């Protein structure tokens, strides 16, 4: 057990990463508490309209569509830590203003729409910069573990936040819940400022000056191994990952549940997601394309099943494995992109990943809200699972054609589906971009006292 724990949490030995994880955990618990209470507030203000939930979710992600690629350029040119302090400060100020309006009892539906847009602007800068910043907190061999623990932190908050919101909403007024959530949301401002800059790993300043968005897009276009996971997550993120819209409506409209029961549905999804994050924490190498595709196939099947859940208990039980494969898929795709990209392009490539994964949410959320009003909330869930499954099948066919691999079905002695690689696995690893050691990004330690730090090769 000691060896397992040491392997699972080894990135936490790094002080800067510990501060990063602590700040994110506290903030995200507050954010999920706030957003859970916000969804319930929207349903009350809109008289149980799934469409209103879709609009709120869409407004939170519209800025991601518009600003994320530019944020990736900023991440490759400027100090990521300072950018994160600024973005989190903007988020905290917005949260305080929103909590005051709710506490004063004057909140209206248009207020919620407006603050959802403001939250989205802050997140459109923070998310891609944070994704790229993880690679500066730890050395390259620890990067898979650090990324996995970041996903685990996120999903721990997804468990704690909705559960806390459900408990607080049952014993306190929604005004107090928003105030508590706001206090928690300011934590990263303090943890980022306490980091030791001398222990960060990043590119030298002189290499940052000419970062252009178009160069990052061209770089990805030449890399089929990056295009595949990014394209797959564009579809799954837009159509399949709409649980913020569908679960609240499913709980209140279809199962006639209260706020605490809605929190249980979200918590069940997050419990599975935490397991999926921890399952990838021991990963030391870049995941293969078929691991990403397999997780997408499993997620599509399970989400399809959730849409046909006959009651609250069955839906809650099905959401656990659905959550597992949702984060296992997202994490494997993230690892495949992050560990296959050169360091000087990481900010822009991760911005593109965030754009297709989260930036397409306004389209998917609006579509899910409209579909739920027209054909019922359960149909919007199983339709999302069906589309995700089809996207995974198309991606599988694409990967087989690009790689020259093939699938063989064996019926005896027992049915089995086997992958037959076109080239030996060892040759594939060294031929794949970003996998061989010469392709690994170069990291340097940033010394605050030196204007032009000398590069120190890592890995």
The structural domains of the chain, ordered by start, are 2-445 (1.20.1250.20)
Strands 201-202 and 444-445: antiparallel
The predicted structure's pLDDT at residue 158: 64
Structure tokens at 381: 């869930």
Q: Number of helices (H) and strands (E), helices first, in the chain?
A: 18, 4
Strands 201-202 and 416-420: unpaired
Are 90 and 23 in contact by the 8 Å Cβ rule? The answer is no
User: pTM for the complete prediction?
Assistant: 0.68
Query: What angle do the packed helices 361-375 and 50-77 form, to 10 degrees?
Result: 170
pLDDT digits (tens, 9 = 90+) for 398-442: 888 888 877 777 776 777 777 777 765 444 544 454 443 333 344
Q: Side-chain half-sphere of 170: how many Cα atoms within 13 Å?
A: 14
DSSP notation for 148-168:
HHHHHHHHHHHHHHHHHHHHH
Distance, CA of 319 to chain centre: 17
Structure tokens at 383: 């339709």
**452: DSSP letter:** S
Q: Quick check: helix, strand or coil at residue 420? A: strand
Rounded to 5 degrees, φ, ψ at 441 are -65, 150
Are 52 and 109 in contact by the 8 Å Cβ rule? The answer is yes
Residue 321 has pLDDT above 90, yes or no: yes
% of the chain beyond a pLDDT of 90: 13
Residue 353 has pLDDT above 60, yes or no: yes
Residue 393 has pLDDT above 90, yes or no: yes
The predicted structure's pLDDT at residue 19: 93
Query: Burial, 8: exposed, middle or buried (Cβ in 10 Å; 0-12, 13-18, 19+)?
Result: middle
- Pairwise CA distance, residues 200 & 133, whole Å: 9
As beta bridge partners, residue 408 has 418
Find, among 396, 341, 290, the residue nearest to 147 by Cα. 341
Are 149 and 14 in contact by the 8 Å Cβ rule? The answer is no
- Pairwise CA distance, residues 389 & 95, whole Å: 37
Q: Looking at 392-443, which runs of residues are DSSP E strands? A: 406-410, 416-420
- Pairwise CA distance, residues 99 & 16, whole Å: 31
Mean pLDDT for the stretch of residues 97-103: 89
Query: Mean pLDDT score of the chain, rounded to an integer?
Result: 78
The predicted structure's pLDDT at residue 386: 93
Structure tokens at 355: 């754009």
What phi-psi label fits residue 453: left (phi over 0), alpha (psi between -120 and 50 degrees) or beta? beta
The predicted structure's pLDDT at residue 139: 82
- Pairwise CA distance, residues 340 & 332, whole Å: 12
The predicted structure's pLDDT at residue 429: 46
Mean pLDDT for the stretch of residues 102-129: 87
Least confident of 217-221, 284-288, 379-383, 427-431: 427-431
Task: Tell me the chain's radius of gyration from C-alpha atoms.
Answer: 22
Find, among 102, 121, 133, 112, the residue nearest to 24 by Cα. 133
Are 191 and 203 in contact by the 8 Å Cβ rule? The answer is no
Are 149 and 21 in contact by the 8 Å Cβ rule? The answer is yes
pLDDT digits (tens, 9 = 90+) for 155-190: 677 666 766 777 787 777 888 888 888 888 888 999
Q: How many CB atoms lie within 10 A of CB 320?
A: 17
What phi-psi label fits residue 379: left (phi over 0), alpha (psi between -120 and 50 degrees) or beta? alpha
The predicted structure's pLDDT at residue 440: 39
Query: Burial, 304: exposed, middle or buried (Cβ in 10 Å; 0-12, 13-18, 19+)?
Result: buried
Are 118 and 109 in contact by the 8 Å Cβ rule? The answer is no
Mean pLDDT for the stretch of residues 265-284: 76
């Amino acid at each position: 057990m000691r060896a397992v724990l040491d392997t699972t949490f080894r990135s936490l030995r790094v002080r800067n990463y510990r501060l990063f994880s602590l700040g994110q955990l506290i903030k995200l618990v507050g954010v999920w508490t706030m957003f859970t209470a916000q969804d319930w507030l929207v349903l009350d203000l809109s008289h149980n309209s799934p469409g209103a939930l879709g609009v709120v979710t869409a407004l939170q992600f519209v800025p991601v569509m518009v600003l994320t690629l530019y944020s990736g350029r900023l991440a490759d040119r400027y100090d990521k830590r300072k950018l994160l302090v600024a973005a989190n400060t903007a988020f905290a100020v917005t949260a305080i203003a929103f909590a005051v309006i709710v506490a004063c009892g004057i909140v209206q539906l248009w207020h919620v729409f407006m603050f959802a847009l403001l939250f989205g602007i802050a997140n459109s800068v923070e998310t891609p910069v944070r994704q790229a910043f993880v690679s500066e907190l730890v050395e390259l061999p620890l990067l898979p573990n650090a990324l996995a623990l970041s996903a685990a932190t996120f999903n721990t908050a997804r468990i704690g936040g909705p559960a806390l919101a459900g408990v607080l909403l049952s014993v306190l007024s929604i005004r107090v819940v928003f105030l508590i959530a706001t206090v928690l949301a300011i934590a990263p401002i303090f943890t980022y400022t306490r980091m030791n800059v001398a222990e960060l790993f990043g590119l030298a300043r002189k290499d940052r000056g000419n970062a252009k968005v178009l160069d990052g897009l061209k770089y990805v276009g030449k890399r089929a191994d990056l295009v595949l996971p990014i394209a797959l997550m564009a579809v799954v993120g837009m159509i399949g990952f709409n649980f913020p819209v569908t679960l609240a409506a499913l709980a209140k409209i279809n199962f006639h549940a209260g706020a605490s029961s809605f929190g249980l549905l979200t918590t069940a999804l997050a419990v599975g997601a935490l397991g999926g994050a921890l399952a990838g924490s021991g990963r030391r190498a870049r995941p293969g394309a078929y691991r990403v595709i397999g997780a997408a196939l499993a997620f599509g099947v399970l989400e399809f099943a959730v849409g046909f859940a006959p009651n609250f208990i069955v839906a809650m039980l099905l959401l656990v494995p659905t959550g597992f494969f949702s984060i296992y898929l997202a994490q494997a795709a993230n690892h495949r992109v992050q560990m296959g990209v050169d360091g000087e392009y990481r900010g822009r490539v991760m911005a593109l990943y965030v754009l297709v994964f989260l930036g397409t949410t306004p389209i998917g959320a609006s579509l899910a809200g409209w579909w739920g009003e027209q054909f019922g909330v359960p149909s919007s869930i199983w339709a999302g699972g069906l589309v995700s499954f089809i996207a995974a099948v198309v991606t599988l066919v694409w990967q087989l054609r690009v790689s020259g691999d093939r699938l063989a079905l064996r019926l005896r002695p027992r049915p089995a589906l086997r992958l037959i690689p076109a080239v030996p696995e060892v040759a594939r690893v060294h031929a794949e971009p970003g996998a061989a050691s010469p392709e690994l990004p170069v990291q340097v330690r940033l010394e605050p006292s030196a204007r032009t730090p000398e590069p120190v090769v890592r890995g």
